[in-house]
Structure 1
């Protein structure tokens, strides 16, 4: 009788425990992980330091969207292009070259213009003591460009150098490095934006530089949203960013109440230039299209 009582007590205990265990198990299974969005930007050599000004924006967006927000800086455009091609970046603070690739090739959606120049231009620079007077004088010379993905450092100068044969094209990871190479005399000319030239031009002692050629203008950079983000959530991001405080907007560097720039023509320019990419790493670099695509791709 004592054994039966104990057994009955044990069975009753198990019956009372079962609902609790079932409820706990269901609760665990129904709890879904919080989605993470990655915000990408190009920081060159600033690295993690460049993220400080985005910290308030990050915290604000997390609160408004109930998502985990991660800031990810790319040290150059080449790294940024890889992240855009893989759609790793949910939101991108994109300068014009990256924006053209993201919009034209990867279906990213622009939502706000970035602060900065509305008419960015590229300049081809030489040392002030250089004998070169025209862009055609760079034939069979060594020219430095930026990374693929850069409007001012790569796409615009390639467009303007079309038709030339260069001894070599060297690729710089940062705009400042182009001026360092020019100062050292290891290249004959180099490309970067007008804005970057003004920023760095006085950091090389007595070396003086001269603008050999100035490109056509391109649109301002934009904030982009990945097609991998749900349409309703894209609207959620746009609404939250448009309602952010003035200090958050200023630190993050976008303009919530301005008209978006038109990227139609610049996307076409980038598409025209991209067939030249097969030539740029060759020595010499013959910047002409092959016969199969020359009729349709030649810059105008």
Structure 2
């Protein structure tokens, strides 16, 4: 009886060891989660990759994630990525942030805290243009930025409300917009003060003049998608809060800065949305559809 019990025990031990040997070594290592970070950088994809290299390495290490930086050269492409929630994190300029927060439930976690004056939206003309003020743009051609741009699209449309424009052209980048004005293709263009200062030396050399300054625009923000898990969100926040100064400077966010309130700016964007069906028309009558119909009767 004892020998049978011993034999059974040995058999069970052998089976246990065999199973352990078969399955213990075949356990797959955990695959790091991917974190896709969207960046808007006007036509400078290579520069964006270089600029965010140290941030990418740092965040990968701290969160044990595969961080992928995905630059896009204008807000229109960025809107598509946000609508499909392909981006887990976004370094978002103001217009894009308003859409992502207001419609797609992205959450602002850090301010990009630029000096407020550089976010001022401008309408500019060539210095030799007879146009002096915004009302002089009636029946003229103007260039706007892509949909999603705060200074190049939403704020100027709000300020141009009530005018009938000969035509509205759309420039893929601020540099292209200034070239259109320089070449005389359009009479005026809408651009942020920051980009105006950056691209004003377009070729051939042209002198430009500001005819209108728009309202204050909040600073850009770093956003997280609603699809990011809560524990992971806290891990990302903590890592970015504790990042060294050279990392935050590279990425362009300020951990200590107050996150701007976007409620009023989101309301402005919502007021402009009914005008969007008018911007493709020639002429472009910038009235709400019912008002435009009444004016033509």
Tell me if both proteins adopt one fold, taking TM over 0.5 as the criterion: yes
The aligned residue for residue 38 of structure 1 is 36
Q: Normalising to structure 1: TM-score of the pair?
A: 0.88
Deviations 1:182-227 (A, max 9, x none): 1110101111001111112133344211111110011111111110
The aligned residue for residue 224 of structure 1 is 223
Aligned to 1:192, the other structure's residue is in SS state strand
The aligned residue for residue 235 of structure 2 is 236
Change in 2 beyond 3 A, CA 1:52/1:115: farther
The aligned residue for residue 122 of structure 1 is 121
> How far 1:43 moved relative to its partner?
1.0
- Whether 1:67 aligns to 2:65 is yes
- How far apart, CA to CA, are the structure 2 residues paired with 1:56 and 1:206? 37
Please tell me whether the aligned partners of residues 43 and 72 of structure 2 are also in contact (alpha carbons under 8 angstroms): no
The aligned residue for residue 150 of structure 2 is 151
Change in 2 beyond 3 A, CA 1:166/1:65: same
- Which of 81, 88, 94 is residue 92 of structure 2 equivalent to? 94
Aligned to 1:154, the other structure's residue is in SS state helix
> How far 1:77 moved relative to its partner?
0.6
Deviations 1:245-275 (A, max 9, x none): 1111111111011111111110110111011
Please give the residue correspondences for 1:96-245 in structure 2 after superposition, counting only pairs within 5 Å.
96-119=94-117, 120-245=119-244
Aligned to 1:45, the other structure's residue is in SS state coil
Deviations 1:145-178 (A, max 9, x none): 0001100110011000111111111110100111
Q: Which has the higher mean CA deviation after the structures are superposed, 230-239 or 114-123? A: 114-123
> How far 1:22 moved relative to its partner?
3.8
Q: CA RMSD in A?
A: 2.0
Deviations 1:73-108 (A, max 9, x none): 011110111111111111111111111111111111
Aligned to 1:291, the other structure's residue is in SS state helix
> How far 1:291 moved relative to its partner?
2.1
> How far 1:179 moved relative to its partner?
1.0
- Whether 1:286 aligns to 2:285 is yes
> How far 1:17 moved relative to its partner?
6.2
The aligned residue for residue 58 of structure 1 is 56
Structure 2 gap segments, 5+ residues each: 1-14
- Whether 1:273 aligns to 2:282 is no
Q: Say how many residue pairs are matched.
A: 278
Deviations 1:89-135 (A, max 9, x none): 11111111111111111111111111422241111111111111221
Q: Normalising to structure 2: TM-score of the pair?
A: 0.89
